């Protein structure tokens, strides 16, 4: 099995923070609901200014409810992203022993940084895997800067939303990592791959594939992903692999 090097994940850190805020808002909903009830049975005429307490607690109750909904939905979205990254790591971990997988590393080139979901280094080359855990129907083309996700909401209402093309996104990552390595004496080709890890995603991407394939769990993407890495013809010398692993291991 490949060796997996896990770095601190900004996505996971953001998920934990957002989940904590969601839980806090839920607690506050309960607190302000009880406070509203208690204040409502108090003889407010006796306490003068305290007659406004029910109104204040009702506003705080509503605000906490909105916060709980917002942070709860955001936490669920972030959780899905974290689960997608874990799924991809488990897939590439099954590569042979002479491969190393780096999770959640950040490389900087020309003052701009890219956080990479997974980088695979082995005798067949260097690969950046951009993981998406979207569900629903995904449509676009390799040349489009924006793709579309078609989903059905909780109330059964269909809706669509655009998101930045992961092919374009991984292209930027490839550019920065390749130049980072080149600047440190490793002139190797860097491959980009997009993987939709959610088996509930139906992915329809048109146009010429180019240098960045798109795989999905629904269509045997796990096997195709490993085959792409193992079958790549970009052989890398042992000394270059050692140098790349040294560089990435110190990030």
Instruction: Tell me how far apart the alpha carbons of residues 10 and 169 are, in angstroms, rounded to a whole number.
Output: 17
pLDDT tens, position by position, 2-43: 888 887 777 788 888 999 999 998 988 888 777 766 655 554
Q: Are the beta carbons of 116 and 128 closer than 8 angstroms?
A: yes
CA 19 to chain centre: 16
pLDDT band at 103 (very low <50, low <70, confident <90, very high): very high
Structure tokens at 216: 């999905």
pLDDT at 160 over 70: yes
Structure tokens at 230: 């193992």
DSSP string computed for the chain:
--EEEE---HHHHHHHHHHHHHHHHHHHHHHHHHHHHHHHHS-TTTSGGGGGHHHHHHHHHHHHHHHHHHHHHHHHHHHHHHHHHHHHHHHHTTS-TT-EEEEEEEEEETTEEEEEEEEEEETTEEEEEEEE---EEEEEETT-SEEEEEEE-TTS-EEEEEEE-HHHHHHHHHHHHHHHHHHTT----EEEEEEE--TTEEEEEES--TT--EEEGGGTHHHHHHHHHHH------HHHHHHHHHHHHT-
Least confident interval from 78-82, 94-98, 190-194, 203-207: 78-82
From 182, 175, 80, 96, select the one nearest 131 (Cα to Cα): 80
Identify whether the C-beta of residue 215 lies closer than 8 Å to the C-beta of residue 198. Answer: no
Phi/psi at 18 (5° precision):
-65, -40
Q: Provide the percentage of residues in the chain whose pLDDT is more than 90.
A: 52
Q: Enter the pTM of the model.
A: 0.83
């Amino acid at each position: 099995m490949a060796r997996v090097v896990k770095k601190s994940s900004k996505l996971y850190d953001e998920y934990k923070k957002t989940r904590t805020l969601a839980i806090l808002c839920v607690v506050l909903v309960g607190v302000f609901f009880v406070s509203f009830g208690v204040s409502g049975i108090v003889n407010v005429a006796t306490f003068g200014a305290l007659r406004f307490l029910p109104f204040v607690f009702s506003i705080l109750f509503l605000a906490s409810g909105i916060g709980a909904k917002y942070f709860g939905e955001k936490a669920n979205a972030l959780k899905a992203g974290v689960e997608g990254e874990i799924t991809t790591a488990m897939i590439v971990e099954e590569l042979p022993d002479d491969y190393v997988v780096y999770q959640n590393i950040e490389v900087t080139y020309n003052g701009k940084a890219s956080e990479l979901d997974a980088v695979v280094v082995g005798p067949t080359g260097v690969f950046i895997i951009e993981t998406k855990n979207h569900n629903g129907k995904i449509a676009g083309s390799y040349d489009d800067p924006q793709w579309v996700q078609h989903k059905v909401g909780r109330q059964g209402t269909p809706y669509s939303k655009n998101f930045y093309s992961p092919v374009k996104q991984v292209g930027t990552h490839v550019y920065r990592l390749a130049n980072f390595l080149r600047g440190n004496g490793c002139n190797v080709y860097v491959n980009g791959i997009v993987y939709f890890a959610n088996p509930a995603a139906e992915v329809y991407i048109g146009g010429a594939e180019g240098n960045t394939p798109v795989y999905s769990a629904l269509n045997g993407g796990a096997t195709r992903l490993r085959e792409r890495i193992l079958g790549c013809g970009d052989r890398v010398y042992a000394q270059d692999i050692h140098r790349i692993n040294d560089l990435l291991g110190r990030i």
